[in-house]
């Protein structure tokens, strides 16, 4: 489950008379067998204005509840390489992301290889227009 934008986080916080860290605190709890995590959407066109707020939340007391970033808006015409500068500036690499996913899921090297093979297959299908089985 995720709150899809910072304005939603702000509305939830205001509704409870709290600051914008409150929604993360709701997700970061040990009071349930259910582990809730949040992904925040950033505008695809210009992510920087909202990035500072997302970084503040991620580095805050309940940052472990924020486990993903999504880019909202129309994907057509905005391939992932367009965001390469953003990811470079933020300080993450594909290797770090793969390491994190494998660590969080316990998937190890087997999962890592599967993710890489799936990515190459998808890229090949996209570039050639052929479905690889």
The string of pLDDT tens digits covering residues 15-53 is: 878 877 777 777 777 776 666 777 788 888 888 888 888
pLDDT at 96: 78
Q: What is the pLDDT of residue 126?
A: 62
Distance separating alpha carbons of residues 124 and 119, to the nearest angstrom: 9
- In whole angstroms, give the CA distance from residue 9 to residue 64: 16
CA distances from 52 to 55, 57, 90, 113 (A): 5, 9, 10, 33
| Mean pLDDT of the region 95-101 | 77
Q: Are residues 74 and 99 in the same domain?
A: no
Report DSSP state, residue 43.
E
pLDDT tier at 117, thresholds 50, 70, 90: confident
What is the tally of structural domains in the chain?
A: 2
Q: Which residue range(s) make up the domain with 130?
A: 93-133
pLDDT at 40: 82
Centroid of chain to Cα 30: 22
Q: Which two tokens stand for residue 119?
A: 């990515």
Q: What is the pTM of this model?
A: 0.52
Is the same domain home to 76 and 98? no
């Amino acid at each position: 489950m995720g709150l899809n934008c910072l304005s939603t986080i702000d509305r939830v916080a205001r509704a409870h008379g709290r600051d914008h860290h409150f929604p993360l605190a709701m997700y970061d709890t040990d009071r349930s067998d259910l582990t809730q995590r949040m992904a925040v959407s950033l505008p695809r066109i210009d992510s920087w204005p909202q990035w500072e707020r997302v970084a503040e939340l991620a580095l805050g007391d309940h940052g472990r509840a924020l486990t993903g970033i999504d880019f909202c808006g129309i994907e057509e015409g905005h391939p992932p390489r367009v965001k390469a500068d953003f990811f470079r500036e933020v300080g993450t690499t594909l290797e770090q992301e793969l390491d994190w996913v494998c660590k969080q899921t316990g998937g190890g090297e087997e999962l890592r290889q599967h993710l890489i093979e799936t990515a190459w297959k998808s890229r090949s299908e996209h570039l050639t227009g052929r479905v690889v089985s």
